[in-house]
Structure formats: C-alpha cells, structure tokens
Amino acid sequence: MFCSGCGQALAAGQPFCPQCGRPATAPVPPIPGLEFQVESYAGKVKSLSIVWFIYAGFSFLTGIAGLTFAHAFFSNHFGNWGNVPWSGGPGNEWFGPMIMSFVWSALVVRTILALVAAWGLVERTQWGRIVAIVAAFLSLLKFPFGTAIGIWTLVVLLGYRNATLYEQI
C-alpha cells in the first residue's frame, strides 16, 4: 500500500504516512454478496445445461418418431391417400428421399448443437456460452419447448452482468 499524498510505501496497518503525515486510506472492501451471486449464477448455469441435455434427447426422440411416421405415411403404409409429391410422376422419385435426407440431417445437426451447448455449459467454457446463445436463437422457432429454453438461455447468458458472472465461475 502507498500513501495517496507523497507515494511513500506504507506497511500494512500503518495509520499515518511517516513522510508527510497524511492518514492512510482504508482498503476498499470487497463487493458484498459477490460470492453469493456467483454461486447462485453457477446453479442457474448448471440447471440450464441439464435442461439442454434433456431438450436434445427429447428433440431427437420426437424427431425420429415424426420422421418414421412421415416415411410410413408417404410410403403408402396407411393406404393410398392420394397423389403424394413423389408417387408415380416422371422425375419425381428423387424428391421425397431428398427431403427426408435433408430433414434427417437437420435433426442430427440440431441435436448435436444442443448437446455441444449443454456440454459447454457443464464445463463452463466461453465457447459453451457462445454455442448456447446460438442454439437458443435457433430454437426460438421450435414452439413450445424450444421457445421456452431459448428464452431462458438468453435471459441467463446475455447481458454484461451475466457475462461477468459467467467469467467468475
């Protein structure tokens, strides 16, 4: 610690500067409750990561169920429901499998993104926070669960205070 008037080095607990006589200033106390805020925020991040893991599994299972049903429906396993886009017309036999492959790929990418976001939050890495924010924005349109977890993630991870707390944990 140094004197605020002359810059003389002061010993710990010395009330006055021996050179100029100025009273030593008290050290700045730590921010009250910071540790409590960091612990509380760490609990929120942990809960958020667990929910991201659950959402990834739930989203993947419902996606598989939906795609299995769509495949069975468009393969006429439920009877002939009319002319589906790829049934019979010349040149249309590539359209259905292409759409199904695209949807399977989107499902896998969405699930992997949710798992990476959850893992990054569990490990409390800076890239995990960024991936979780990106995943939150992308899941906002997935009503109702994706919207809920997206909003919750953005509320917990965005903002200067939250970014500072995230760096502390």
Query: Domains of the chain: which residue ranges?
Result: 34-77+106-168
Is the whole-model pTM more than 0.95? no
pLDDT tens, position by position, 81-107: 555 555 555 555 666 778 888 999 999
Rounded mean pLDDT, 14-40: 78
Structure tokens at 98: 């292409």
Nearest in space to 114 (alpha carbons), one of 144, 87, 138, 98: 138
Closest CA to 131 of 99, 153, 98: 153
- Least confident range from 4-8, 27-31, 111-115: namely 27-31
Report pLDDT digits (tens) over 43-92.
999 999 999 999 999 999 999 999 998 888 777 666 665 555 555 555 55
Residue 62 and residue 3: Cα distance in Å, rounded? 67
Planar angle of CA 150, 114, 144, nearest 5 degrees: 40
Alpha-carbon distances, residue 35 vs 32, 111, 165, 168, 169 (angstroms): 8, 34, 10, 9, 10
**For 111-167, how does the pLDDT look when each residue is reduced to its tens digit (9 = 90+)?**
999 999 999 999 999 999 999 999 999 999 999 999 999 999 999 999 999 999 999
Contacts with 25 (C-beta within 8 Å, 6 or more apart), sequence order: 4
The span from the first CA to the last CA of the chain, in angstroms, equals 29
| Residue 7 banded pLDDT, cuts 50, 70, 90 | confident
